[in-house]
């Protein structure tokens, strides 16, 4: 899948921290991706998060390909342990984007957990053996 995203001029920027569990799960899921990016639907908000090696961007379902918020400049190397939060920069492209931040930080972990759960098999795989077609 390919999506072209656009950005309005930057409205504001602030330093934030992402909880370690969210960052670690996002990195684990991203590492399994074969496309170089990870698409995470946040259904409760009608948003799509797109994660790549450099940033997380958030697209509103109504504005389709326009980025509302980008999380950039993650600094995991500043952590002492894997349980420490990760510093990053939140970049806002709309005046009302700051209001979305707290909701995104609550809903993204849920969406990541749902995505991780879908990737698991509920039961062990089984091989079904079908009889070979008869020669006739």
Distance CA 74, CA 97 (A): 19
Residue 26 neighbours by CB under 8 Å, 6+ apart: 38, 51, 56, 108, 112
Q: Residue 11 — pLDDT band, cuts 50, 70, 90?
A: very high
Determine which of 4-13, 32-41, 124-133 has the lowest per-residue pLDDT on average.
124-133
Instruction: Report strand pairing: 38-42 vs 47-51.
Output: antiparallel
Helices (H), the chain: 20-32, 97-118
What are the phi and psi torsion angles at 12 (to 5°)? -160, 165
Mean pLDDT for 70-74 is: 96
Question: Mean pLDDT, the chain, as a whole number?
Answer: 87
């Amino acid at each position: 899948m390919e999506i072209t995203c656009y950005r309005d001029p930057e409205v504001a920027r602030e330093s934030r921290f992402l909880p370690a569990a969210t960052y670690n799960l996002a990195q684990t899921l991203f590492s399994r991706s074969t496309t170089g990016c990870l698409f995470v639907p946040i259904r409760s908000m009608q948003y799509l998060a797109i994660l790549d090696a450099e940033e997380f961007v958030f697209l509103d379902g109504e504005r389709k390909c326009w980025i509302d918020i980008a999380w950039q400049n993650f600094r995991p190397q500043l952590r002492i342990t894997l349980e420490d939060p990760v510093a990053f920069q939140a970049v806002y492209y709309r005046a009302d984007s700051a209001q979305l931040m707290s909701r995104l930080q609550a809903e993204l972990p849920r969406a990541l957990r749902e995505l991780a759960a879908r990737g698991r098999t509920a039961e062990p795989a089984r091989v079904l053996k079908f009889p070979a077609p008869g020669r006739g």
